[in-house]
Amino acid sequence: MNLSELKTQFLEYIEIEKGRSVKTVENYDHYLTRFLSFAKTNDPKDISDNLLREYRLWLNRQSTGNNKPTGATLKKKTQNYYLIALRAFLKYLAKRDVKTLSPEHIELAKVGERHIDVISEQELGRLLQAPEGNSLKSLRDRAILELLFSTGLRVSELCSLSRDLDLSSDEFSIRGKGEKVRVVFLSEQARSAVKAYLDKRADVEDPLFIKINKECGEGEDPGLTRRSIERIVKHYAIKAGISKKVTPHVIRHCFATDLLSNGADLRSVQALLGHANIGTTQIYTHVTDKHLRDIHKNFHNKRKK
């Protein structure tokens, strides 16, 4: 079979057998299509160390697009996405006994330590209080912000919620990345904000968070999209006088750092965030640095003078 046919079968395999999301499958399709376009071959045997070397050089020199400064190239992290997709494809070919380059020949580019964007406790407080008034829109937006901070939900997970959310309980299950189900918890503030918003609604739409009045065009899905929620968060961050870029994911960061700084253990935070690997959660451990400094100061080197 040729590479194009094998790519199609691989994408079907990761969607059906591996349970990857449609978005992940689309991303893999994009990365592999670019590789095949570069390789200019349909024969798996033509994928060699030399081709891989040339492909990595090509990736490293690719422009990021028209909206970036002249000369800006793909970040190492982005290049790694292409390489991860290619390595997964080669693993699939090896499993099918197709003769091609071994996936072990692909090494990812080294990237710098990941830094997370957070806002201060005072800035977070101003953000959560920014939606004012009792209009449906204000109540909706307040519920969105409170729910994001209370649960640490990803924005895609927030968009998937329906209005039949059981507010008599302080917890509910959510299906996250990789179709994995986890439990998240509602603070009293979040539960009150969502209840006030739902009590004000007079429609019969199913999504928990819907577009209001002019936000929804005729025939459009009434539910808020990821982009819509990002715009809402950005609007209230500006209103709250926060100069940093604030996104739903920044609020998720605040959720994690708030737990850790108040004594939660890393494994519990991993479970609450829905991280498959604890290494992903460890990026938040910087928040415990001050606590460690205090311990060192109070307990180290207590020799009598």
Nearest residue to 236 (alpha-carbon basis) of 137, 76, 126? 126
pLDDT given for residue 217 in this prediction: 65
Task: Calculate what percentage of the chain has a pLDDT beyond 70.
Answer: 90
**Domain shared by 128 and 210, yes or no:** yes
**Domain shared by 134 and 268, yes or no:** yes
When pLDDT is cut at 50, 70 and 90, the band that residue 260 belongs to is: confident
Q: To which residue do tokens 């449906």 refer?
A: 136
Residue in 91, 177, 201, 235 annotated catalytic: 177
Residue 286 has pLDDT above 90, yes or no: no
**Domain shared by 154 and 9, yes or no:** no
Q: How many CA atoms lie within 13 A of 144 on its CB side?
A: 36
Q: How many CA atoms lie within 13 A of 99 on its CB side?
A: 3
CB-based contact 147:229 (threshold 8 Å): no
Tell me, yes or no, if 284 is annotated catalytic: yes
Residue 118 has pLDDT above 70, yes or no: yes
Burial (CB < 10 A; 0-12, 13-18, 19+), residue 86, is: buried
pLDDT given for residue 298 in this prediction: 75
**Domain shared by 173 and 146, yes or no:** yes
Q: Which of 45, 80, 105 is the last residue of a domain?
A: 105
Domain hosting 163: range is 121-293
CB-based contact 242:119 (threshold 8 Å): yes
Q: How many CA atoms lie within 13 A of 205 on its CB side?
A: 17
**Domain shared by 125 and 63, yes or no:** no
CB-based contact 49:58 (threshold 8 Å): no
Tell me, yes or no, if 275 is annotated catalytic: yes
**197 φ/ψ sector (left φ>0, alpha ψ -120 to 50, else beta):** alpha
Tell me, yes or no, if 252 is annotated catalytic: yes
Residue in 34, 76, 235, 249 annotated catalytic: 249
CATH of the domain at 155: 1.10.443.10
CB-based contact 274:176 (threshold 8 Å): yes
Q: What is the pLDDT of residues 60-93, one digit of tens each?
A: 998 876 555 556 788 888 999 999 999 999 999 9
* Residue 161 Cα to chain centre, angstroms: 17
The predicted model gives 114-122 an average pLDDT of 79
pLDDT given for residue 55 in this prediction: 95
114: in domain? no
Residue in 7, 20, 252, 253 annotated catalytic: 252
Nearest residue to 117 (alpha-carbon basis) of 294, 300, 254? 254
CB-based contact 84:29 (threshold 8 Å): no
3-state secondary structure labels for all residues of 147-207: HHHHHCCCHHHHHCCECCCCCCCCEEEEECHHHCEEEEECCHHHHHHHHHHHHHCCCCCCE
pLDDT given for residue 303 in this prediction: 64
Q: Which of 105, 132, 154 is the last residue of a domain?
A: 105
Residue 304 has pLDDT above 60, yes or no: no
Q: What is the pLDDT of residues 16-62, one digit of tens each?
A: 988 888 888 999 999 999 999 999 999 999 999 999 999 999 999 98
With b for 16 or more beta-carbon neighbours within 10 A and e for fewer, the 140-160 pattern comes to: bbbbbbbbbbbbbbbbebbbe
Q: Which of 58, 77, 105 is the last residue of a domain?
A: 105
Residue 207 to residue 248: CA distance in whole angstroms: 18
Residue 188 to residue 190: CA distance in whole angstroms: 5
Residue 114 has pLDDT above 70, yes or no: no
pLDDT given for residue 70 in this prediction: 53
pLDDT given for residue 42 in this prediction: 94
Tell me, yes or no, if 20 is annotated catalytic: no
Mean pLDDT taken over the chain: 88
**Domain shared by 45 and 186, yes or no:** no
Is residue 73 classed as helix, strand or coil in its secondary structure? strand
Q: What is the pLDDT of residues 170-214, one digit of tens each?
A: 999 998 887 788 999 999 999 999 999 999 999 999 999 999 877
Residue 145 has pLDDT above 90, yes or no: yes
Q: What is the pLDDT of residues 215-241, one digit of tens each?
A: 766 667 889 999 999 999 999 999 999
**Domain shared by 95 and 138, yes or no:** no
CATH of the domain at 63: 1.10.150.130
304: in domain? no
111: in domain? no
Tell me, yes or no, if 55 is annotated catalytic: no
Residue 291 has pLDDT above 70, yes or no: no
Which residues, including other chains, have CB under 8 Å from residue 2's CB and lie 6 or more apart? 42, 43, 44
Residue 111 has pLDDT above 80, yes or no: no
Residue in 154, 191, 211, 253 annotated catalytic: 154
When pLDDT is cut at 50, 70 and 90, the band that residue 277 belongs to is: confident
pTM of the model: 0.70
